[in-house]
Amino acid sequence: MISRLHALWNSVFRGKLLDRDLHDELQAYLELSSAEKIRDGMSPEEAYRVARRDMGGVEQVIQRVRDVSAGVWLDRLVQDLRYGVRTLAKNPTFTLVAMATLALGIGANTAMFSLLDQVVLRLLPVSHPERLVIVRETGNHYGNSYGPNTISWPMFEDLRDNNQVFSGMFCRFPATVTIGDADRAAQIPAELVSGSYFPILGVGTSLGRPIAPDDDAVPDSKPVVVLSYSFWRSYFDGDRTVVGRTIDLNGHAMNVIGVAQPGFDGVELGAPAKVFVPIMMKTEMTPHSDGLKNRPRRLSWVTAYGRLKPGVSLQQAELSLQPLLHGILEMEAQQPEFTRNTTEADRRLFLRNRIKLLPGSDNELREDMRRPLWLLVALTGAVLLLACANLGNLLLARATAREREFALRLAIGAGRARIVRQLLVESLLLAGGGAILGLALAFLADRILLRIYLPAEAAAEFVVSPVPDVRVLAFVIGVTWLTSLVFGLLPAVRGSRTEISLSLKDRSGALLAGGISLRRMLVGIQVALSFLLLIGAGLFVRTLRNLQGLGPGFPIDHLLTFTINPSLNGYSDQETKSFYQRLNVNLQAMPGIASVGFSAMPLLKGYAWQNAVLGKDFEGAPIEEQPVLSEIGPDYFATIGIPVVAGRAFTAQDVGPAKYAVINQSFARKYFPGRTPIGQRFGLVDEMEPTGPDIEVIGVIPDKKYRDLRETPPAQAYFPYLEGVHFRFMNVYLRTQVDPRQIEDELRERMLQFDPHVPVVELQTMDEQIGFSLRTERLVANLSAVFGGLATLIAVIGLYGVMAYVVMRRTREIGIRIAVGALRSSVIGMIMHEVFVLIGAGLVAGFSLALALANLVRSQLFGLNPRDPLTFIGSAVVLTLAAGLAGFLPALRASRVDPTIALRHE
């Protein structure tokens, strides 16, 4: 087999002749020629000279032979291509189906791979991104935290100044700031960066200069800003004079010193920053939350990055950083901020914290999307496999149908190699056409996918480009080549083996038996793969259904929400408080609005405010078990639709100094077991100002979801925001009497009149918000459903094709059976038996595959098992019905065979 392939390869692609052979050949010619001349009486020297002269130089002759060979090769290629195009055009149905199948497979793969590549695999656009790591502290921090990847400012300084493994460290903090004036105020994502950020990343500017270490030495001293290139283009229309001007950020005049290099949008892929500000301007950029000047160690908020020194591996660095961290932790554990609220057991746990280094390109979007995207890539891989099987089947069927043609061409003297080449050229043409269509499809698909996946604004800014890059193209071309080679060569080898006499004589010769069993196997594979894809589709669609059906526990229709933050405009606490109170009154007066609720924390957006609580019996609970909290307005529960089951809700009179709380039933069960919760007291652990349990429970609500739809409702406690001292974000919820979408524009207009300086952010209906929070699940469910449907369609067509062919070949046999008295129903039974054997084999294979792969998708499911029997049975039934129907049509045709015609058939 190998030598056969080798010979085939040589004869098909012999573009290069062995020059040495040619050289030998010409040398022989020269000697023979001079021998002749010697015979004629010349001296040997003269004979050789004349012979050489006559020949005109060995090299020249070799060159001419080469030219001729290349010309012949090209001529033939053109001939083959023209012939190929003609044959394909002659059979447009086949060509269309084959190309569409391939386009689908290649398109789906390219789209998913390019999304995966750009969202999950790609590195940051900085110099040597692979040497960049995120420095993370694992374990319980025993304080407030902005997320798992953050550490405190003093911790960053300690690590930066004492480590041996990094050539440099920088840190960053993402924030939202308000840019502009009364005319056009907008909230934009900003990146607060340490002075070492730009130099260590190796990122420059296209205009002006980057933020330098000097800009970041003294708090509040340097109001400077660097714009991202895309923001400079979109917001300032690429105006070069912007450098040197001042712009307003949060009401502070900031000096624009530069525009970053194109393509650089900060270190968090998928969350592009538009402006870069020295981290020493933290107070101005995030009012009410400093974390810098008094150097609190129990507030972790900066994400620290290090650039590994040359020759230092990630593991070595991690190991070498542990003693350094341990020393810092020992010191921290002595401090009153730590000891005040912790026990000895806590201290021992705390000292076990470790440094973990993550690749610098990691972020939350990646973590969230890694598994679903790999899953989708696997699904599309299955679709491509199926498409290949289908194409192979089509080409085999065609090769069989063309045996007469091949036999004829062999009979009139065409070389076998020529026929193989012809078939290969045809399959390459098909694959090439499929690839081009597939790329176009992928381009469209990626644009749509990005739009589903990201909010419109972010999708427009997102650095993921729907145009595949060189690697993706290489991937596509590789896949295309492989497909066309494997499925072009199979029939090609068979085709070239055609026995002339047999094929010309007898079309239904026994020769084809091998072909049909191969085709049956391919159909079996198709059934198995589509069964697998259908099961996947079933599981993911039901997961989405489960999540949607579950709901948050309150009615989400007629609910409109937006976020607002006047403190970013430099409003004082008192001004912000008054802003909220006036806003409440104003919105309640708006026509079409039934009630208005305020909450400091957003509902079902994945965020949580957690704090350890203290009371008589409970203290310093580990962070996972801390209750989630929020500060809310008086009508919040009424607006959301959460009943108060015991006690009362807040009123506008709950403004302090007495501290009240409404808790949910889980909170009551957890902290006041067996007691009536109303009238109980608890406190919040606060490192700065230790207090006793001074908050009184005045009401209880049922357990509702807080962070997201997947969670079991955690213990929750709510406080009246009017009791508070500091005022920042507010999430406004409006229960409307009319369709909330109808009043969105009116609401925007009203807010602009209310205060033109304060932008309204993320105005959307609760339906939309929840829909967006389920986007990963929806994406996976929709795509897997589409893939499952297409796979089934392809498999069904494949099965129909094979069965129709089987019936055609057995026409004579069936005719005889009917002639000697077989019932038509038994003919149908006979064919259907074959159909069900095929389907059954496919189902069994698909079933075992599905069982084996089940664990890989477990984490993507909700409310059902990956081996869910209902889904398995349902998919099997759907597939069996569809495929059975496809097999029934040929069976029906078989039963209608007219014996007299059938026997004359050949």
Partner 1 sequence: MPAPQSDLLQGTLDLLILKALTPQELHGMGVSRRIAQITGGAFDVKAGSLFPALHRMEQAGWLTSFWGESETNRRAKFYKLTRAGKKQLQSESERWERISFAMATALRTT
Q: Which residues in this chain contact partner 1 in the complex, by CB under 8 A?
A: 17, 21-22, 24-26, 28-29, 31-33, 35-36, 54-56, 60-61, 64-65, 67-69, 72-73, 412-415, 418
Strand ranges for 318-467 from DSSP E: 354-359
Nearer to partner 1, 53 or 90 (CB): 53
Beta-bridged to residue 562, according to DSSP, are: 732
Q: Round to whole Å and give the CA distance between 347 and 186.
A: 45
DSSP sequence for 337-367: HHHTT--HHHHHHHTT-EEEEEETT--HHHH
Structure tokens at 851: 């069982």
Structure tokens at 137: 């502290």
State how beta strands 716-720 and 659-664 pair.
Answer: antiparallel
State how beta strands 205-208 and 252-260 pair.
Answer: antiparallel
Q: How far is the CB of 429 from partner 1 (least distance, A)?
A: 22
Give φ, ψ of 87 to 5 degrees: -65, -40
Beta-bridged to residue 135, according to DSSP, are: 304, 357
Nearer to partner 1, 74 or 121 (CB): 74
Nearer to partner 1, 327 or 415 (CB): 415
Nearer to partner 1, 68 or 253 (CB): 68
Q: How far is the CB of 784 from partner 1 (least distance, A)?
A: 51
Q: Round to whole Å and give the CA distance between 225 and 254.
A: 6
- CA 763 from chain centre, in angstroms, equals 26
What angle, 0 to 180 degrees and rounded to 10, lies between the N-to-C axes of helices 416-453 and 92-116?
A: 50
Nearer to partner 1, 22 or 458 (CB): 22
Residues 6+ apart with CB under 8 A from 400: 512, 515, 805
Nearer to partner 1, 36 or 239 (CB): 36
Name the one residue in this structure whose structure tokens are 């009371």: 615
Other Cβ atoms within 10 Å of 109 Cβ, number: 23
Nearer to partner 1, 414 or 502 (CB): 414
Q: How far is the CB of 15 from partner 1 (least distance, A)?
A: 11
Segment (H or E) for 697: strand 695-701
Burial profile 184-219: b = 16 or more Cβ within 10 angstroms, e = fewer: ebebbbbbbbbbbbbbbbebebebbebbbeebbeeb
Nearer to partner 1, 501 or 574 (CB): 501
User: Is 225:277 a contact under the CB 8 Å cutoff?
Assistant: yes
Q: How far is the CB of 57 from partner 1 (least distance, A)?
A: 8
Nearer to partner 1, 25 or 214 (CB): 25
Nearer to partner 1, 36 or 330 (CB): 36
Nearer to partner 1, 21 or 457 (CB): 21
Q: How far is the CB of 81 from partner 1 (least distance, A)?
A: 17
User: Is 897:828 a contact under the CB 8 Å cutoff?
Assistant: no
| Segments in 163-202 forming alpha helices (H) | 197-201
Nearer to partner 1, 26 or 892 (CB): 26
Q: How far is the CB of 72 from partner 1 (least distance, A)?
A: 5
Nearer to partner 1, 22 or 493 (CB): 22
Burial profile 638-661: b = 16 or more Cβ within 10 angstroms, e = fewer: bbbbbebebbebbeeebeeeebbb
Other Cβ atoms within 10 Å of 636 Cβ, number: 25
Nearest to 526, CA basis, from 383, 330, 698, 341: 383
Report the amino acid identity of residue 689.
E
Q: How far is the CB of 461 from partner 1 (least distance, A)?
A: 58
Q: How far is the CB of 62 from partner 1 (least distance, A)?
A: 8
User: Kindly report the CA angle at 655 between 653 and 656, in degrees rounded to 5?
Assistant: 125
Q: How far is the CB of 61 from partner 1 (least distance, A)?
A: 5
Q: Round to whole Å and give the CA distance between 580 and 725.
A: 13
Give φ, ψ of 192 to 5 degrees: -85, 125
User: Is 677:714 a contact under the CB 8 Å cutoff?
Assistant: no
Nearer to partner 1, 36 or 746 (CB): 36
Nearer to partner 1, 48 or 197 (CB): 48
Report the amino acid identity of residue 897.
V
Structure tokens at 108: 């789906």
Q: How far is the CB of 82 from partner 1 (least distance, A)?
A: 17
Report the amino acid identity of residue 397.
A
Q: How far is the CB of 505 from partner 1 (least distance, A)?
A: 20
Q: How far is the CB of 55 from partner 1 (least distance, A)?
A: 4
Q: How far is the CB of 65 from partner 1 (least distance, A)?
A: 5
Nearest to 391, CA basis, from 827, 7, 98: 98
Structure tokens at 637: 């529960």
Q: How far is the CB of 67 from partner 1 (least distance, A)?
A: 7
- CA 778 from chain centre, in angstroms, equals 13
Q: How far is the CB of 494 from partner 1 (least distance, A)?
A: 21
- How many residues would you count in the chain? 906
Nearer to partner 1, 25 or 739 (CB): 25
Cα-Cα end-to-end distance for the chain? 35
Q: How far is the CB of 407 from partner 1 (least distance, A)?
A: 15
Q: Round to whole Å and give the CA distance between 373 and 367.
A: 10
Segment (H or E) for 372: helix 364-401
Q: How far is the CB of 34 from partner 1 (least distance, A)?
A: 10
Q: Round to whole Å and give the CA distance between 867 and 47.
A: 88
Q: Round to whole Å and give the CA distance between 47 and 36.
A: 8
For residue 657, say if its preceding peptide bond is cis, omega within 30 degrees of 0. Answer: yes
Nearer to partner 1, 421 or 705 (CB): 421
- Supply the DSSP symbol for 261: P
Nearer to partner 1, 15 or 263 (CB): 15
Structure tokens at 258: 């530069």
Q: How far is the CB of 11 from partner 1 (least distance, A)?
A: 10
